[in-house]
Structure 1
Amino acid sequence: MTSFLLDHLRSVFTPTAVSELARALGEATETTQKALDGLIPAVTAGVSNRVSNPEGAARLYQLLNNTTFATDPTVSQLVGISDHRQKAAESGNTLLKQLYADQPNQLAESTAQYSSVGLGSAGILTGLVMSVLMGFLRQQITGRALTQAQLTALLLGETDSVREAIPAALAGTLGWLIGTPQPATSIPLRTETIPTASIHDRPAGSTWWRWLLLALALLALLFFLLRGCRDDKSPQTLDSSTLTATDTLASDMDGNGPAVRVGIDLPGGRKLSVAEHSFNDSLAHYLANKNSQTPRVFTFDNLTFETDSARITDQARPHVDDLIQLMKAYPNLSIRIEGNTDSTGDDAINDPLSGERAEMVKQALIQGGVAASRVATRERGDTKPVASNQTQAGRQKNRRIDVVITKL
């Protein structure tokens, strides 16, 4: 499971940085790493949890716009120079207290108990993680001109991944921070019926909430059946006449998907077993043709995401893994991943979501060993429809991920 927020934090707190930080704090490297392995997803989940209600979302957005972050020094300075480290830690802990005023020290205490680092060290580590995370979110807001609604969508799309990354022994003490539902009435974040935010602040023992949730579920289910699933997993065939002269359709799958699987031998001895006429099958044949030209567009027809989320479904992960193998077999191959949506809904949500989904595919490729320089992304929103948005079938075709071959 991938999360671009967690990936960024882990790229900052590298093993080398952790070793230097442990030495500066007078802690063992192993316990410092354990503390950060818990803090990185826990702090991220805590920030994501704040946008589950409008008041918290507004508060976070205000902090990100109005705070000067002490994350300008390099990573080595943050972990190795006492003054920089102290400023960043204090800044992060101040921000955390502004988001969770009632429990200013509880996260550090839980981390110290979980990892066996000293309480003072746990407090510094907590502040550093918070400072780096908030600084990165500030960069997202300023660099991409994100609105409050767009920031909320970005964070909610990460919620499931970051919660599941928290070690169970630590997560059990952090319900106040990460908003984990009680087991007896838990509702999976990935459900397509009830927004998770509606259960975070439920008073204990309130039975009327169960009836309210049930009513909402029935209403949402009715809406879902009438409107059709927004992110239908049925692959669709694109109309190649709507593409430019250099764009070529690669997939020819019907609504039920192909039943036949074919074996493909790749350079370097790699082998794939893919669905016939699927995205990876067509891409493999294209790459094997020495006369193939660029640019070329392939629609990732078997790539699906959780509804209204940038998280790749478990069913789609093997197809992403196949793409990783193809890129490793053809080391000169470079691609651009483009996220597309239909024209329904709020552009403030849909447009960044299309970009986040493209970025999520890129991060999956990077984690699989593909160099980041070989993968670009583009947020297209609803600017490149391939079918009419007036019909459900057309909207399904427009909600897609395109992979553009830019270099062979």
Structure 2
Amino acid sequence: MSLNILDLIKGQLGPALVSQAATQLGESESGISKAISGLLPAVVGGLANNARNPSVLDAITGATSSGILGNLLNGSSGNSLITTVLSAIFGDKIGGLVNTVASFAGINNSSANSLLNMVTGATLGSVGKYAVDNNLGASGISSLLEDQKGIVSTLLPAGLSLGSLGLGNLFGGSDPADTARVTSYEEPKVEVNRGGNTHVNTDRHDDNAGGGSIWKWLLPLLLLGLAAWFLWKQCDKPATTTTDSTDTLSVVEDSAAISGTDTMTMERQSTTVTLPNGTALNAYAGGIEDQVVMFLNSDEYTNATEEELKNRWFNFDNLNFEFGTTTLTAESQVQLENLKAILAAYPDAKVKIGAYTDKKGDDAVNKKLSQDRADAVKNALNSAQVTAAEGYGEEFATVDENASDEEREADRKTAIRFVK
């Protein structure tokens, strides 16, 4: 099965970034989410249609060193890589795309334009990072993008199609989601609409009066075959689930021992975590904020010894770094601020930071990178209650270094534990 690169990008456009964008642009979060849901497939489709364009490939390979992913919200507008790519994939259709998405999402055109730049930046950065992680050259990136042609148009939200976005020829033909037609020379045109109903257009010029007798038995067979084909295609489609105001992410489930951590896929839903001082935090249900506050309020924490606390780690679930660096991404700030608020509400609590890498790469380099990242988180929290920060490198990694990037993600994490 081909990789769906939209799955690589969605993690960069999570609820925290949506919330920040809504505040900065003066729009509703639902409007921002709706706009992104229309822009993302369009951008990926445009890249797929320009998979061999040298300027597009140069932008993708250059994205990893440009810091795009670290400042999506404020660093996308005016970025030369993004401007070049948008011009290459949409040309003079950018204005129409922005207008349509703005109307669809109920936001201003200027906001839709900012989101187009942000989504394009997230796409370039994510594909570029994947290419680096998997040692893909220009031809590998082209093949990856071309594999998306068959899926992106089907991911547009209800109410949008490539045609309505002014991108009907994005794949060099009509929108796959629009009406499909089966046509042959001087033969009746059989049209199949979205609902599976068929219509035969027999309005043709045919001087052979006797030829019509063939269609008396051929047309029913043709229609039956088309109906069977349509039903088969519908049954063959993978089941999809649509959720409102939730993100489906791969997250690391907390465990008693950090070396025994497993991964799971779950739907992320927002919740409010209330602190003893009355502060209300917007966080993920079951996320690190939820877990930590519950733990601090429990007898388990009150009665735990230092030795017992050593095995009780809590993994950040929305804290990330730019690829290969110690620079925290913009969306990480929300969870860091939440943890600051928690520490302020529990002044006697003290924590230690731990950072981990996967097995890929040099052991010593991984050890240093993890230590630098642990220090970066400690410095970002800037609290006397953070007593230590340690990088463990790949010491506790369990996934083989030759596994896929998605599989190795389970070993790349940052966590905290409480100390007495």
Tell me which interval the TM-score lies in, with the shorter structure as reference length. Answer: 0.3 to 0.5
Higher strand share: 2
- Could you tell me the TM-score, scaled by structure 2's length? 0.41
Higher helix share: 1
Larger Rg: 1 or 2?
Answer: 2
